[in-house]
A and B are shown apart, each in its own frame.
Chain A
Amino acid sequence: MLNANEAYNCGRCGLCLTTCPVYRQEFDETVSPRSKVQLARLVAEGRLAQSPQLMEVFSMCINCGNCTAACPAGVLHGPLFMRLRSLLGDQFGHSWTMRLLFHLLTHEQQLLLSARIARFGRNVIFEKLAADLMIGTIKLKNTPHMNREPFRAQMPPVINPEGAVKGTIVYFVGCATNLTFGSIGWAVVQVLTTMGFRVVVPKDQVCCALPLIMHGALEKARENILTNIRVLGDPDSTAIIVDCATCGSALRKEYKQALGELGHATRAAESLARKVFDISEFVYQHFDLIAPYLINTPEQPETVTYHSPCHLRNAQGIKGIVEQMLSRLPGVKYVPSKDSESCCGAGGSFCLEHPDITKAIAGEKIRNAKATGASFWATGCPGCNLNLSANLEAADEIRVVHPIQVVARLLRKDQ
């Protein structure tokens, strides 16, 4: 039986349709959050059959959380949708791509191996043969190269700053930084050590498992969650830092929810959550520690705009903070894009399952970002980063970067 308690709080006002990126693309109530809440209720009441088509409807969700943020009645869409996806997934099976993804994300060694194979494919075969190949609507040549070595393997277990140690940071390196965006990892370490922190990268950390949690594959996610809680929970650390909005939302919010659903105690997840900070948020909060090391205003200020990842804004409540951090950087002219807070349409596997919707949403974002005249487009989420950069045209001069890379670029060279 499905527990659809959340649905009974829905007053059907429809305000969630306003900012739902999927509804705003489709203009069909069937895929709106309000409808999904009602459909879940009908399933729970035995008035609507469970079916593969229903699974398809529930796949039309980017998990951006805009609906929950807009809902004045406080409906929690996430757990309700997750439970329904889980029910339907158990019954009708997940697609082979999802099954493969689940398997890899829960088996660290095989994940690393497949990354190695992918790196070979990407760098050797593909460069020569398939310059115009597409996956869905994503141009392959716009995707980043894989890291030569996984980032975590390149890291010593402890990196000390020069001079006095202000505290110890446990760095949770998500899969994206570990396998693909190594340069973001270096920027994080560089900025944190410059600020005076010792950085520790626990070797046994594993994938945050958020994709599994979102698809309702909670049983599969269990081991990853418990492992991470164990290896990250250093009682002497100042903070646990993440550079990925999605991992951050898992550690700060979803672990507690998922463990609760699985019938585990949630206290450890809660105390972990209190210590987790996003890197941009952390720099903002301790700006005085980095300010002395930034180069003074260069002659040509760099124009930077921002895309606010949903998993940062909705799931972690980080709203307006990264923008302020960027504005405070000397040598940066921050120009907001008019839809900086709307979803980019990526949503993990959503962009593979519904590429046309993603492409339409990303296209609009790109138009607005380019209109700011910025040369850098900062966003602290690898999913958004990949999606936005993949949909840029070769002639577009704007480059997608992590906000921490913007900070790192401005560090004085004598550092």
Chain B
Amino acid sequence: MISNKTLSKLRKVLDPGRIKTDAISRSAHSFDGYVVEGVPDAVVFPTKTEEVSKIMEIASMDRVPVTARGAGTNLSGGSIPLKGGLVLCLTQMNKIVEIAPADRYAIVEPGVVNADLQQALSPLNFFFPPDPSSYSVSTIGGNIAEDAGGPRCLKYGVTHDYILGLEVVLSSGKIIRLGSRNVKDVTGYRPAGLFCGSEGTLGIVTEATLKIVPMPKARRTAMICYADLDDTAKTVVSVIGVGIIPAAMELMDNTVINLIEDAMQIGLPRDVEGILLVDVDGAEESVDKELAQIVEFARANNAKEIKVANTSAESDALWKGRRSVYGVLNRLSPTTIVEDATVPVSKIPAMIRGCRGIAHKHSITLSILGHAGDGNLHPCINTDTRDKSEAHRVEEAIKEIFQLAIDLGGCLSGEHGIGLAKSPFLPMGMDTDSREFLSIIKKAIDPCNILNPGKFA
């Protein structure tokens, strides 16, 4: 429990209206996109860096755990205050500070919603490439802390590729600034390397200088349907193998396709085994050429049906189902577990076959979608945690899926993070010395272990 002494110190540095200790506010900040819950002792809403700094100073003096929170959409329990203490909510620090198209950067506060930044950039013909499917709601701070990726990261890279500079409040309350506004800058360690994917365990990001990119002139989308799931993976491998890098290559299997149709009736073919959604972007002349080549590869790999969108409205229509897929899966059962084990692209067919085998062996409901182009698959398991015997089988299956990914040269998580969900499996993907290296860094930066304790370790 947080002491009254700590609370009264907090009230001196933060408008008391921004410190919530009532049961309702605490309950409202006890969950995120993952299944576990944890209730904080208080929720605080700072509005500027100095306030965050003072909060951290108090928290470190009084040894109060602090869990940062953006929109609370992460899927690994990263923003659950497992050990109570404070939830530090950054959603009200949501100003876009500066956009400098000529210098190709934007400076934002951490609570800025990804989509709001995109909307501000779009009239200037620029964009910020990381596009997690949650982009309409998730925050830049959360994107950084989870090193979020999204469909078009196949071509453009993930969040860490777009961090020029960060302002971070450390657990002591010290404010540090790493990087700068320059696309080229080699003074010191790269801030992205440390803080992207750190899940709030190393510091609180209070401002980010992001690299922005001119919008491609043209974009085409194709939806390719297959009777055999393996052929989707083969198409991905042959396209990327010859050096074509589409902006996105998304995969959905038959279960997912039918669930989307049930929910949204958007005209997806219900009888195919797999759909690849492919985006190409770039210059007007090159997109058509690339798309034609991709279509050729798809045909060679037995594609059954190919739909090409010529306008951006048609593209959006083809993408609509994919964008809503997580919620749609929730219609199937009370709990949906979305894994994101990732393998090298050439191993996708083996990974898909392996996952299906595991699901069959444990008789669980598993569907597969994912960012196939970069090997980042999302095997989704629908289950009811109240069924104990099934819960056990699901646990076993997940373990086997991780092992399979590792055996194929892959990793535990491509983008959703370790959080609570994957902490127990960390040893599978990292040996003792390497894990110790992480904890040395953590201890040096957060000696009292007050930043998001219980995660990632």
Contacts and interface: CB of A to CB of B under 8 A. Distances in A.
Do chains A and B interact in one complex?
Answer: yes
B327 interface: yes
B324 A53 contact: no
A11 interface: yes
Given A13-B134, A72-B324, 8 more contacts: A14-B33, A14-B138, A28-B91, A29-B29, A29-B72, A35-B28, A72-B325, A72-B326
Most chain A C-beta atoms within 10 Å of own C-beta, residue among B27, B111, B325: B27
Contacts of B331: 9, 73-74
A393 B45 CA distance: 33
Most chain B C-beta atoms within 10 Å of own C-beta, residue among A11, A15, A28, A32: A11
A8 B334 contact: yes
8 contacts: A11-B336, A14-B33, A14-B137, A17-B137, A28-B89, A29-B72, A72-B264, A73-B330
Interface in A38-79: 38-39, 42, 47-49, 51, 53-54, 57, 71-74
Interface residues of A, number: 30
Interface stretch (B16-24, B200-208, B244-252, B357-365): B16-24
Given A11-B327, A17-B71, A30 B24 contact: yes
Interface in B107-123: 111, 115
Interface string A6-30: 0011111111011000000001111
Contacts, number: 92
Contacts of A48: 23-24, 27
Contacts of B29: 29-30
A72 B23 contact: no
A257 B136 CA distance: 31
B258 interface: no
Contact of A13 (B23, B24, B28, B326): B326
Contacts of B128: none
A74 B264 CA distance: 10
B137 A27 contact: no
A48 B25 CA distance: 11
B33 A13 contact: yes
Contact of B31 (A8, A12, A15, A53): A12
Interface in B1-52: 20, 22-25, 27-29, 31-33, 45
Contacts of B330: 9-11, 13, 72-73
Interface string B304-342: 000000000000000000001111111100101000000
Nearest to A35: B28
Given A12-B31, A29-B72, A30-B24, A18 B137 contact: yes
B24 to A, nearest CB: 6
B333 to A, nearest CB: 10
Interface of A: 8-15, 17-18, 27-30, 32, 35, 38-39, 42, 47-49, 51, 53-54, 57, 71-74
B71 to A, nearest CB: 6
Nearest to B32: A12
A14 B70 CA distance: 11
Contact of B24 (A32, A54, A73): A54
A160 to B, nearest CB: 42
Interface size class of B (residues with CB under 8 A): 35 or more
A73 B327 contact: yes
Contacts of A10: 330
Contacts of B111: 27
Chain B's interface: helix, strand, loop or mixed, by majority? loop
B92 interface: yes
Contact of A15 (B20, B91, B136): B136
B263 A74 contact: yes
B17 to A, nearest CB: 11
Contacts of B33: 11-14
B73 interface: yes
Nearest to B116: A24
B376 interface: no
Given A72-B263, A72-B330, A73-B331, A27 B91 contact: yes
Given A72-B324, A73-B327, A14 B73 contact: yes
A30 B327 contact: no
Contacts of A9: 330-331, 334
Contacts of A28: 25, 45, 89, 91-92
B94 interface: yes
Given A18-B136, A27-B111, A13 B327 contact: yes
Contacts of A74: 263, 331
A11 B326 contact: yes
Nearest to B262: A74
A49 B325 CA distance: 34
Contacts of A13: 33, 73, 134, 326-327, 330
A54 B26 CA distance: 12
A27 B29 CA distance: 12
Nearest to A74: B331
A53 B23 CA distance: 10
Nearest to A11: B330
A57 to B, nearest CB: 6
Contact of A49 (B23, B45, B71, B263): B23
Contact of A38 (B28, B69, B94, B328): B28
Given A13-B326, A27-B91, A73-B330, A53 B134 contact: no
Nearest to A32: B28
Contacts of B73: 13-14
Given A13-B33, A14-B134, A30-B20, A72 B328 contact: yes
A267 B138 CA distance: 43
Nearest to B139: A27
Contact of A73 (B27, B45, B328): B328
Contacts of B91: 27-29
Interface in B226-264: 263-264
Contacts of A73: 327-328, 330-331
A15 B263 CA distance: 15
Contact of B92 (A12, A15, A27): A27
A410 B212 CA distance: 49
A29 B73 CA distance: 11
Given A17-B137, A28-B45, A30-B20, A11 B27 contact: no
A71 B336 CA distance: 15
Contacts of B23: 48-49
B137 to A, nearest CB: 5
A361 to B, nearest CB: 16
A51 B25 CA distance: 13
Interface string B82-107: 00000001011010000000000000
A51 B23 CA distance: 10
Nearest to B332: A73
A14 B71 contact: yes
B27 A38 contact: yes
Contacts of A53: 22, 24
A412 B260 CA distance: 49
Contact of B28 (A27, A29, A47): A29
Given A9-B331, A29-B72, A72-B324, A15 B27 contact: no
A11 B73 CA distance: 10
Q: Which 5 pairs of residues, A with B, have the shortest CB-CB distance? A: A72-B327, A11-B330, A73-B330, A72-B324, A35-B28
A214 to B, nearest CB: 21
A14 B71 CA distance: 8
A2 B197 CA distance: 41
Contact of B327 (A15, A32, A51): A15
A14 B28 contact: no
A47 B39 CA distance: 12
Contacts of A42: 27
A82 to B, nearest CB: 19
Contacts of A38: 27-28, 31
A15 B33 CA distance: 10
Nearest to A31: B28
Interface in B265-295: none
